[in-house]
Amino acid sequence: MIPIIKPTMDEAEAEAARRVILSGWVTQGPEVAAFETEFATFTGAPHAAAVSNCTTALHLALLAAGVKPGDEVVTVSHSYIATANSVAYCGAIPVFVDIDPATYNIDPNLIERALSAKTSAILVVHQMGLPCDMAAVVDIAKTKGLPVIEDAACASGSEILWNGQWEKVGKVHGDVACFSFHPRKIMSTGDGGMLTTKHADWAAKFKLLRQHGMSVPDTVRHGSAQVIFETHPVLGYNYRMTDIQAAVGREQLKRLPGTVAHRRALADRYAELLGEAQWLSLVREPSYARTNWQSFCVRLPDSADQRTVMQAMLDAGVATRRGIMCAHREDVYASQPLRMSLPESEAAQDHAIVLPLYPQMTDEEQQKVTSTLIGATRPKIHSPKLQRWNLRPLPIEASLIVSE
């Protein structure tokens, strides 16, 4: 079976975990602090805070932005449900905006239509690692006086062209960016998350709230020659990262530039191999973005049944995933009125599939994936002459009249 992804880990990560396990300090401690410093340096962010996963990162980001019960947060439905859930955790309401079908990211032209007097933040998603149009989003947010939170769960190592310079996602271009280190991501700590921000007070709040609102960090208490009694002045959470995870993350961060470069080369090969399949739509990088190709997504022709195609590929030994889910279609949000229709989001879920992509992938495996996909989706042209001579079918946009 060709899987969707394989984590890229070896003895370096195993030795890092072993080192921490034998050190006696296995939860949030010196390894977490070092990982935060190194991740901030990598992205160019002034501050970073490690947490247990990206969902908890999003929750803390929204709290720091001042989102409270009864508020509205403009975001996309077309994302893993954690994006919408993080808004609900604050007692706020996610207001869904449709996507640009070319990038699968929020359509900035629709944001202002979704705003109201209750809007307290804009939460964008860099879907599948492809940066959204942050310049357009930030311009709107500045005009309206709203904070911008980036769900960068998939975007470690991706870049944005900002004021003529290529910068890492997470520098930060909004107010805070939230990353995931789940095994499905190209950089993994087993699970885990990171926030980067340009606001020192926000970073301090993240570190306070992630550890039950405790007034004195463990590192300070354990290193003090005097007895210290901590207090818990605010409601906090158990959102800590372990030192074992952080040690693995530090090794993964060293690999990240090479991993991104390799994935970009694999994506180029996919585009080349699928060049003949003009009935398939591929994601193209806009001029302002360099994606890490966290996922390689293909839009099927409307005539193709998504489940049937995926089953045919599974039967051939190729794993796929359906298009990104839409939160508004799930029971927990289905009863919430929509401020606008979401046809592009729904079409992306129903007619797109994600193909396998990982650095260990061979040319033969990519060839198998693409040939299987082409065979499962090739438009059927019912003509005896075409079938007899085995001619290459035309794209679905073309029309063909065959006379006897």
Give tens-digit pLDDT for 191-211. 999 999 999 999 999 999 999
What is Dmax (Cα atoms) for the chain?
97
SS3 content of the chain, % helix, strand, coil (to 5): 40, 15, 45
Compute the radius of gyration of the chain from its Cα atoms. Answer: 23
Range of the domain at 334: 265-389
Give residue 381's pLDDT.
59
My answer on whether 235 and 102 are in the same domain is yes
pLDDT, tens digit (0-9, with 9 covering 90-100), for 342-389: 999 999 999 999 999 999 999 999 999 999 999 999 987 544 433 333
What's the CATH number where 269 sits? 3.90.1150.10
Q: Is residue 180 part of a domain?
A: yes
pLDDT given at position 217? 77
What pLDDT, on a 0 to 100 scale, did the predictor assign at position 389?
33
Within this chain, do residues 246 and 281 fall inside the same structural domain, yes or no?
no
Q: Are strands 159-162 and 165-168 parallel, antiparallel or unpaired?
A: antiparallel
Residues 216 and 362 in one domain: no
Domain boundary pick from 225, 256, 287: 256
Between helix 54-64 and helix 82-89 the angle, nearest 10°, is 40
User: Rounded distance, CA 135 to CA 281, Å?
Assistant: 26
Phi and psi at 119, nearest 5°, equal -65, 125
Examine residue 173 and state whether it is found in any structural domain, yes or no. Answer: yes
pLDDT at 69: 98
Tell me if 69 is assigned to some domain: yes
For residues 193 and 102, membership in a common domain is answered with yes
Contacts (Cβ under 8 Å, ≥6 apart) of 335: none
Strand-pair category, 93-97 with 72-76: parallel
pLDDT tens figures, 334-355: 999 999 999 999 999 999 999 9
Residue 24 has pLDDT above 60, yes or no: yes
- Are residues 93 and 234 located together in one domain of the fold? yes
Question: Does any domain span residue 394?
Answer: no
Which of the 8 DSSP states describes residue 158? -
Are 173 and 315 members of one domain?
A: no
Domain boundary among 214, 236, 256: 256
Same domain, 326 and 209: no
Residue 198 and residue 327 in one domain: no
- CATH, residue 193: 3.40.640.10
Other residues' Cβ atoms within 10 Å of the Cβ of residue 21: 13
pLDDT at 314 over 90: yes
**Domain assignment present for 83:** yes
> Is residue 78 in a domain?
yes
218 domain-assigned: yes
Q: With CA atoms as reference, report the closest residue to 48 among 230, 253, 222.
A: 253
Q: What is the pLDDT of residues 231-250, one digit of tens each?
A: 889 999 999 999 999 999 99
- Could you give the number of structural domains in the chain? 2
Q: Are 194 and 284 members of one domain?
A: no
* Residue 286 domain flag: yes
pLDDT above 90: residue 223: no
Contacts of 201 (CB under 8 A, 6+ apart): none
Sign of CA dihedral 228, 234, 237, 242: negative
Model-level pTM?
Answer: 0.92
Residue ending a domain, choose from 256, 290, 318: 256
Q: What is the mean pLDDT of residues 313-335?
A: 97
Residue 181 near residue 194 (C-beta atoms within 8 A): yes
- Examine the domain organization and report whether 160 and 282 are in the same domain: no
User: Do residues 295 and 357 make contact, with C-beta atoms less than 8 angstroms apart?
Assistant: yes
The reply to whether 317 and 204 lie within a common domain is no
CA distances in angstroms from 294 to 241, 359, 396, listed in the order given: 23, 11, 29
Same domain for 271 and 211, yes or no, is no
Q: Is 309 exposed, middle or buried (0-12, 13-18, 19+ CB in 10 A)?
A: buried
